[in-house]
Structures are given as C-alpha cells and as structure tokens.
Structure 1
Amino acid sequence: MTLTEQTTELLNTAARAAADALGEDLVAIDVTGTLPFSDVFLIVTADNPRHLRGVKSGIEDDVYAALGRSPRVEGNEASEWLLLDYGDVAVHIFQREARDFYALDKLWNQAPRVNITEVQATR
C-alpha cells in the first residue's frame, strides 16, 4: 500500500527524533492493508529505562513542534515497552530484551517495510 504524505511526514519526523535520541534498530512496517487502526509501525530499541524515556520524550517533543500532534501513550515509566499512538503511526519503543521477546519484527515479517534509511543516516 502507499502511505499518505501526511503519514510519511509523521513517520519521518518520529524516526528522525528517535535517531536523534540514539534509538537503535529502527524498523518501519507498512500495515495499511492489514490493520484498520494504523498505517505504519515504527519500532525502536532503547538500551535501558532512562534511554526509553528519553526516546519517548524526544519523539513527543519533535512531533509536537513540527506537526502539532500529541500521541496517546500506553505503558508507564517502569515499562519495557512504550507505545506512542498517533493513529496513523504507532511508535513502539522497546528495551532490547522486550523487543526480542515480543518480536514484532518477526510477527509482521510478511508486511512491507518502509524505507527510513535516509532518516537514520542523518544522525
């Protein structure tokens, strides 16, 4: 499927913010044809709880500054997995062990990937 310009801008802003906060292993998965409530997942790895909170804050701040959008947040400060739900873009921020355990990358391995390498290369 094809992402809208608005969704692509949100995805790129969130990915750039995650990369700027030193989030790792960024993967974007196009779920437009599969899920009715989201168009793309952005999956990010953080090293520890403090880093996870930093990545979350960086994404929230940058997306709000650029696009005026705030997410619905699932998870709390003690979580190993935070979800920033912007509707069309769902950002999953995992600590490494949780990402390995839940394996969203593998669960969605049949869904197309969205190229965000240019975003990651700017950090």
Structure 2
Amino acid sequence: MRRNQTTLILASALLSIASPATAQRGGFPQPLIGLWAESPITCDLLKRSPANAPSDRSWVRISPETVSGTTSGRFLRVLGPRAAQTTDDKLSTITIDFELRRGDILFETVTGARASMQYMRCR
C-alpha cells in the first residue's frame, strides 16, 4: 500500500512540474485572442472591410499562435494567465509582450523599449 502512495505522489509532482511547459506550448491565453484596435473608429473600419485593414491606424489580431496587423509575430511563451510574449516577424531578436490590464485594455510593449501601445477589444 505504501509503495502505491509513493508512486501516486511522484506522479502528481511530475504533472505539476510539466504543466507550465504544456501551457507554454498551447499558444496565447484565451483572454488575449481576438481583434484589438486603438479606437472604436478603427474597430468599425476593420469590421466593415477586414480585407482592407487601415494601414494608418493601429490594430492587432491575435490568434492562438500568431499576431497580425500593426505588429506581426509568432507566439513565444506564456507570461501569465493574461499575458504572453511573441517574436517579431521582421526581426527575430525583438520580443513583444502583450498583457491585459485594467479590465479589457491590451498593452503591447517591445522588450527594452520605453514606449508601449494600448488597444481595446473590438466587439
């Protein structure tokens, strides 16, 4: 009986250690996935004509593995339940963090940069 308990404890410990790695391979956290824009006007433009996305306005579309729009990149790792990091498609040495703060405001920060961008969810 004691041997089975030890095996169960070891198996539980291994699962808890493996869980963060599994989450990182899973892509962007669900709360980040969707269409985000700098303003309600930009959201309207994107909804009316998604094929003709405005190039003079800031917006991003986050899918489980990629970011497209003003920023384009690929999922790198989960930073928390409402945060993730991407690599930039144009320059792979640049990383970009996306984090939901203050409710539904998406913050985008280029690693090492002082400036950041804020987006609202397009509904």
In which range does the TM-score fall when normalised by the shorter chain? under 0.3
Q: TM-score, normalised by structure 1?
A: 0.26
Q: Where is the strand percentage greater, Structure 1 or Structure 2?
A: 2
TM-score (norm. length: structure 2): 0.26
Higher relative contact order (CA 8 A, sep 6+): 1
Larger radius of gyration: 2
Higher helix share: 1
